[in-house]
Amino acid sequence: MGEEIEARGFSREDKARFSARLAGETRLLHELFAREKFSRAAPMLGFEIETWIVDHNHFPAPINQQILEALDDPLVVPELSRFNVELNCEPLALSGDVLSRALRDLTKLWTRCNETAHRLDANLVMIGTLPTIRDADMSLANISPLNRYYALNREVLRQRRGLPLRVDIEGRDHLVSEHCDVMLEAATTSFQIHLKPPAQFSRAYYNASIAASAPVLAAAGNAPFLFGKSLWEETRIPLFEQAVVLPGPPRVSMGSSYAAHSLFEVFEENHRVYEPLLPMAFDAPAGEFRHLRLHNGVIWRWNRPLVGFDADGAPHLRIEHRALPAGPTFVDMIANAAFYLGLAHALAVGCRKGAGGLAFDDAVSNFYAAARLGLEARLTWPGSGAIAADKLLLERLIPLAREGLADFDVAEDGFLDVIEARVRTRQTGAAWQRRALDKRGDLFAMMAAYCEGQRSGAPVHEWAV
């Protein structure tokens, strides 16, 4: 989805060409799986961070093009709306002090980006949903001027036969909002982790990522407010799922099942059950998988398998863990990554299917409970039954993640201590936002304090309310 395309609309001939090439690339991918031709190079790690651009009143500032032009950095790219940008880090070898290296690299890039924003009289903020955003901000006047976004909007509305997209989220308050475009998707900003595991174990890591999603998210909520309403701890989850609803199976979901034999099952399901949304045909060899990758890019599973390429051109498989919010600080986000990596590794190597014995339906139920209630959720876990999320994390899963990181030969560097302290103090980003709003009385004063805490760099469990 990050690749620009030439067209904003598509003909029947375009769709026929795309479908034929997608079918050919899916067959070729099956051959690669059957012959075990994916890269077995050392595991790698990467990150994407979606950020907000805000003015001094904490309203969204639609100036991403000016920021991008001033930066001229391939690691900083546009997002759907003009008030968001995405920051990326170069892939890192998954060993030793990789987490501390990622923290240094991302902090350095963030500093440059924010200095650029300041020269344009704006600030960057990392937060799951921006509490001060207004319904009126989510309009096509604020869409980034790239063909892929206009095409996405056109095709979504075509498949919906012009019906508006409706968001209906019941949390502490009740939000109902209708839009005649895809801009509601832009109200969610995430911290995405790219894990390239050993190819022969990619299925186990994918299943483990699904199982790990709920407990990691329970400790990481940072999106309690939208359009002035108090909703879920992670309002991003229902918002994104409802912002792109089309005929057929859900475009945004946990998927239909664990992978039983290989990740090919996911790509085969993509081809079999999802209508192409951006049917742009490319003049490219089948081995580049341009059509398969573009098609996969508009199916937003919370854990999404990706086909990519090593520096030497060898195809590889990686997993994009998409469930986590941006913010509150880089220390918090890298701590979330440490918890995910350690827990996913421990689950992946701990049993044949990689899910730690957790049924898929329980993994899905856990995920929505964690998104809605955070550390107040009750999760189902093998050997524990239904258990409070904080108790499960402290007694079983944080220690298991420590074992996982050690077995992965990844240094903790104190990041799991951050998770443990956050759970013990019960102060996630979402919990801090709610407490700060209760104390200060309005969202703007709360956002001013949030930005001050973010600038401090201290993890959110240390922030004063």
User: Which long-range contacts link 438-445 to residues 24+ away (Cβ below 8 Å)?
Assistant: 439/465, 443/58, 443/131, 443/132, 443/225, 443/228, 444/57, 444/58, 444/132
Cβ neighbors of 34 (< 8 A, separation 6 or more) are: none
The tens digit of pLDDT for each residue in 231-275 reads: 999 999 999 999 999 999 999 999 999 999 999 999 999 999 999
Judged against a pLDDT cut of 90, whether residue 198 lies above it is answered with no
Give CA–CA dist 213/260, Å, rounded. 19
pTM for the model stands at 0.96
Residue 460 one-letter amino acid: V
Cis? peptide before 328, omega within 30° of 0: yes
> Average pLDDT of 161-182?
94
pLDDT band, very low/low/confident/very high, at 454 (cuts 50, 70, 90): very high
Judged against a pLDDT cut of 90, whether residue 27 lies above it is answered with yes
Give CA–CA dist 296/131, Å, rounded. 31
The tens digit of pLDDT for each residue in 404-415 reads: 999 999 999 999
Residue 386 one-letter amino acid: A
H or E element: which one contains 324?
strand 315-325
Q: What is the pLDDT of residue 11?
A: 81
Rg for the chain, CA atoms, rounded: 21
Give CA–CA dist 371/373, Å, rounded. 6
pLDDT band, very low/low/confident/very high, at 351 (cuts 50, 70, 90): confident
Judged against a pLDDT cut of 70, whether residue 186 lies above it is answered with yes
* Mean residue pLDDT across the chain: 95
Q: Encode burial over 47-86: b for 16+ CB neighbours within 10 A, e otherwise.
A: bbbbbbbbbeebbbbbbbebbbeebeeebbbbbbbbbbbb
pLDDT band, very low/low/confident/very high, at 33 (cuts 50, 70, 90): very high
> Average pLDDT of 24-48?
96
> Average pLDDT of 45-57?
97
Q: What is the pLDDT of residue 3?
A: 59
Nearest to 113 by CA among 105, 121, 124: 124
Q: What is the pLDDT of residue 387?
A: 98
β-pairing, 300-301 with 252-253? parallel
Q: What is the pLDDT of residue 4?
A: 53
Residue 1 one-letter amino acid: M
Residue 373 one-letter amino acid: L
* Partner residues linked to 96 by β-bridges: 410
Judged against a pLDDT cut of 90, whether residue 134 lies above it is answered with yes
What domains sit in the chain, N to C, each tagged with a CATH number? 12-462 (3.30.590.20)
3-state SS record for 331-394: HHHHHHHHHHHHHHHHHHHHCCCCCCCCCHHHHHHHHHHHHHHHHHCEEEECCCEEEEHHHHHH
The tens digit of pLDDT for each residue in 374-404 reads: 999 999 999 999 999 999 999 999 999 999 9
Q: What is the pLDDT of residue 1?
A: 47
Judged against a pLDDT cut of 80, whether residue 352 lies above it is answered with no
Instruction: Give Cα separations from 124 to 97, 221, 237, 403 (angstroms).
Output: 27, 19, 22, 36
Judged against a pLDDT cut of 80, whether residue 311 lies above it is answered with yes
